[in-house]
Amino acid sequence: MNKYGLNELREQFLVFFEEKGHLRLPSFPLIPQNDASLLLINSGMAPMKPWFTGEQEPPRKRVCTCQKCIRTGDIDNVGKTSRHGTYFEMLGNFSFGDYFKKEAIAWCWEFLTERLGLDPALLYPSVYLEDDQAFEIWEKDIGIAPERISRLGKDDNFWEHGSGPCGPCSEVYFDRGAENGCGSADCAPGCDCDRYVEIWNNVFTQFDSDGAGVYTELAQKNIDTGMGLERLACVCQGVGSLFEVDTVMNIINKVSEICGIAYKHDEKADISIRVIADHIRSATMMICDGVLPSNEGRGYILRRLLRRAARHGKLLGVAGPFLNDVCETVIGENESAYPDLTGKAAFINRVVRIEEENFGKTIGAGTAILSGLISQYNARGDKTLSGADAFKLYDTYGFPPELTVEILGENGMSADLGSFNEHMDAQRIRARKAREALGDLACAGVDLGLDNTPTVFTGYESCAETCAVLAIVTQGELSSSIRAGDDGLIVMDKTPFYAEMGGQSADFGTIARDGAVFEVSGVSQNNGGKYLHHGKMLSGTINVDDAVTAEINTLRRNSIMRAHSATHLLHEALRAVLGEHVRQAGSQVEPDRLRFDFTHFSALTKEELADVERRVNGAILDGLPVAVEEMPFNDAKELGAVALFGEKYGDRVRVVRMGGDFSIELCGGTHLDNTAKAGAFSITAEFSVASGVRRVEATTGLATIESLTHARAHLAVLSGMLKAGAPDELEGKLEQNMTMMRELRSKLDAAMSREANGEAQRILTGARELGGLKVITAVIEDVDVDIDKLRQIEDTLRDWEAGVVAVLAAEKDGKITIMAACGKAAVEKGVKAGELIREICSICGGSGGGKPEFAMGGGKDTAKLRAALAAVDGFVLRATTSP
């Protein structure tokens, strides 16, 4: 047997099938393209479905791949079985109406025994119960003794998925030896124990199933094979678990190094180490393919994997984020096969770090609450967390439910999932009601009594249109007319008004007839695709069935188009400056103002912002022609059009191209015919709106010019105030003023400290000798006295005289402030300012405290101030004479 590394094995397989006339294709991305039935690719054949069904022509009738796969269905097995990962690679050779069973079986055998040198005595084929043809090939062509070929039932050896192409399978099992078996007398390939592992599965798609038990032979028969690369590597490398395969073991070692726990010493720790290694393999590959953590769909799968890995890190005692370090090892082990990992390494690293940091915050609060709940439940001997509590953890604290279940499990508890789901359903209903209420507002809660044909939108070509009024709503009711002064909405057969959608604001304008004018100040669409023109009747009356002239405000429309076309240029510029990972995450287009949200992980630097702005303005100055074309979705994709992630598109799409291929986007909005008309583009703000999502706000056309005019006027006002001749002189003037301020400030400080010195000197002359100390009590009678000044005097006295006990008071607006300072010698003798202040402040109805050297307090009873100060001597005497 040849001992191959995982990366070499992959290459061996692909080269072998290239030699057999197969076209080698790179792995398809983990995100399915045009297949809404699947969140993530989970097998080699999944991305090739259209080639199997004949819907599309494959590039060649023989294809081989090594496909990245994610199976989150296996998540609970990970770390516990030796053969499951959430991420693995599947080797596959495929035939689309070309070779069939005979070749597939022969090549499978040749690869395993001759190319890899596996011992034929350890390999056991299986076939489907009724598949005599495959049985015969194994027996006659390959020469396997019939008792070594198992016939297995539908569960194991018939591949089908609802209706459609399906067929029998033939697997190859590898015998890991009796020592790994269950010891039962009938242990054989197909047994659930660890002795015989399935390494290769050949599917012969031979029938078309109607889903009701009728199978018809397919004219075009296909071969779909799948072999887990990691499992094959286990066999070739003679290791018992896919976690011990060379590249995966390096990741395990990295995790074990970070957490300082040796692998294979403690089963519980090993599970955690394996979970982290596996989940970070998945996460790294998913992020590389464009998945970002979020709260739904595949983004949630990624989030769940990262959170689970983070939590197992905590179980291992790792403090602080560390998963991104594991990513680096995953990238290192895989970049030879997947070179795009290298360019995206920094990005992947950041996504993982931020997600882990954010999770750290959530998990901290949630774990504490859950531990509290667990103790409460334990105290009353209750082993089931109520659905309400589980829901509250999720809904209020964002604590992931699967984590709640996992932590409960570790504490011998469970959650009432039935009740939890009821809470979830109730919340979904509440959310839907809230949405419906919003929808009702848009239709004013009125059944329009119209059919469901959408209003024809003519606004791409024209700004004014003669239309027929189909329905009118005023005062929340269907009406046959609308009169001057009434608010309401009008529905017509067609309209040039763009309804608010896709982030673009609605058109405003008028609907008019013979002196009757309805002013449109908002347009929305109802579920039936009817355009609802909201507004007010300014004069006259409009009736249902009237022919009216609907005319949009072109100034507003033009400024919206400026902002929208500039948004496409901005999107392109961001991708050019920041990288291809930039994806639109939201967009708002208003007259000459735009807001664009996109995926990116750090604040843009000043230089990046300037570069983006320059590129957009460059594209505007180049006067790129804008062309709009409708075409089939696939043609648009061929062109490289930027489609929005997760957005559903119809068969025909609208493609907006600027400057040929400078920018190509699928978009239903209204656009300029030339980018030059956008005018000046200016970025006004850039900030974060969510983890991993940034927002740029910008202006175009008149708004940019207005802001320039405004800034200029502002500068002029400032120049006037500072008496600068021209704005150019502003900086010099300001510099001068600031220097002057600094000088004045230091003069003022010097004068204040001189004054304090004088005051201190005067006060010191009034000191009394008491117990070897110099005791001073004084009320400062200055009208302007403030705390700073008192403090300065106290500090000076303490500097001058180590034996000083100085108590100064000031009275202002009926409030007393008292400070006490004790020099070093005084403190040594036992006189502590903090205690002194506490005592004397209480005499004048207040409180205070501080350190032995300095303390401060206050009081309200001004009449008692003298008495309070008189108590100082007594305090000093007591303090200095007490033992």
Summarize as ranges the residues that interact with ligand ATP (CB under 6 A).
Answer: 71, 74, 83-85, 88, 90, 198-199, 201, 226-228, 230-231, 242
Tell the smallest beta-carbon distance from residue 703 to ligand ATP (Å).
55
CB-nearer residue toward ligand ATP: 271 or 446: 271
CB of 306 to ligand ATP, least distance (A): 19
The percent of the chain in helix, strand and coil, each rounded to the nearest 5, is: 45, 25, 30
Give the residue nearest to ligand ATP (CB): 228
CA distance 635 to 637: 5
Q: Of the two residues 58 and 79, which places its CB atom closer to ligand ATP in the complex?
A: 79
Tell how strand 815-822 and strand 804-812 pair up: antiparallel
Which C-beta is closer to ligand ATP: that of 158 or that of 518? 158
Q: Which is nearer to ligand ATP, 168 or 846 (by Cβ)?
A: 168
Helix (H, G, I), strand (E, B) or coil at 577: helix
Question: 217-227: b or e for each residue (b if 16 or more CB lie within 10 Å)?
Answer: ebeebbbbbbb
**Of 192 and 813, CB closest to ligand ATP:** 192
Residues contacting 475, CB < 8 A, separation 6+: 486, 487, 488
Strand ranges, E, within 210-322? 215-228
Residue 173 or residue 377: which is nearer to ligand ATP going by CB? 173
Q: Which is nearer to ligand ATP, 281 or 581 (CB)?
A: 281
CA dihedral for 245, 247, 249, 252, sign (positive or negative): negative
Q: What's the token pair of residue 232?
A: 């094959």
Least Å from the CB of residue 200 to ligand ATP: 6
For ligand ATP, the closer of residues 113 and 588 by Cβ is 113
Q: Which is nearer to ligand ATP, 230 or 592 (CB)?
A: 230
Based on CB atoms, which residue is closest to ligand ATP, 30 or 482? 30
Closest to ligand ATP by CB, 227 or 574 = 227
DSSP single-letter state for residue 501: B
* Residues 643, 655: Cα–Cα separation, whole Å: 10
CB of residue 274 vs ligand ATP: minimum separation in angstroms?
A: 12
CB of 160 to ligand ATP, least distance (A): 13
Q: What's the closest the beta carbon of residue 71 comes to ligand ATP, in angstroms? A: 5
- Token pair 């200055």 is found at 782
Name the residue nearer to ligand ATP (CB basis): 6 or 242: 242
| C-alpha–C-alpha distance, residues 700 and 681, integer Å | 5
Question: Between 85 and 509, whose beta carbon lies closer to ligand ATP?
Answer: 85
Minimum distance from CB of 81 to ligand ATP (Å)? 8
Shortest Cβ 184–ligand ATP spacing (Å) = 19
**231 or 838, CB closer to ligand ATP?**
231
Rounded Cα distance, 79 and 178, in Å:
23
Quick one: 227 or 506, whose CB is closer to ligand ATP? Answer: 227
Task: Give the C-alpha separation, 389 to 367, whole Å.
Answer: 13
- Find the shortest distance in angstroms from Cβ 201 to ligand ATP: 4
Distance CA(825)–CA(803), nearest Å, equals: 5
Best CA proximity match to 39, nearest among 225, 279, 302 = 302
Cα gap 740→732, rounded to integer Å: 12
* 630 phi, psi to nearest 5 deg: -100, 140
Please, what is the minimum distance in Å from the beta carbon of residue 362 to ligand ATP? 28
185 Cβ contact list (under 8 Å, min separation 6): none
Amino acid at 480: S
- Give min distance, CB of 136 to ligand ATP, in A: 23
* 366 touches 399 (CB < 8 A): yes
Shortest approach of ligand ATP to residue 156 CB, angstroms? 8
Q: Enumerate the H helices of 579-630 as residue ranges.
A: 606-621
- Rounded to the nearest whole angstrom, what is the least distance from the CB of residue 180 to ligand ATP in the complex? 15
Q: In angstroms, what is the minimal distance from the CB of 407 to ligand ATP?
A: 25
Query: In which residue are the tokens 């005062």 written?
Result: 475
- Which strands, in side-by-side order, build the sheet including 652-658? 626-632, 652-658, 663-666
User: For residues 6 and 373, which CB has a smaller minimum distance to ligand ATP in the complex?
Assistant: 6
Inter-residue long-range contacts of 753-757, CB under 8 Å, 24+ positions, other chains counted: 753/792, 753/796, 755/789, 756/789, 756/792, 756/793, 756/796, 757/796
Question: Judged by CB, which is closer to ligand ATP: 280, or 619?
Answer: 280
**β-sheet with 848-850: strand ranges across:** 768-770, 773-780, 804-812, 815-822, 854-859, 848-850
Handedness of CA 238, 242, 248, 250 (dihedral sign): negative
Least distance in Å: CB of 77 to ligand ATP?
7
Left (φ > 0), alpha (ψ -120 to 50) or beta: where does 412 sit? left
Closest CB 169 distance from ligand ATP, rounded Å: 8
**Alpha carbon of 854 to those of 672, 822, 837, 849: distances in Å?**
73, 6, 9, 9
Q: Which is nearer to ligand ATP, 90 or 511 (CB)?
A: 90
What's the min distance (Å) between Cβ of 234 and ligand ATP?
10
Q: What are phi and psi of 685, to 5 degrees?
A: -160, 155
Which structure tokens are listed for 346? Answer: 């920094």
What distance in Å separates the CA atoms of residue 52 and residue 17, rounded to the nearest whole number?
19
Task: Name, in order, each residue with C-beta under 8 angstroms of 440's C-beta and a sequence gap of 6 or more.
Answer: none
Q: Least CB distance from residue 104 to ligand ATP, whole Å?
A: 14
How far apart CA 374 and CA 161 sit, in angstroms, is 43
Cβ(293)–Cβ(309) below 8 Å:
no
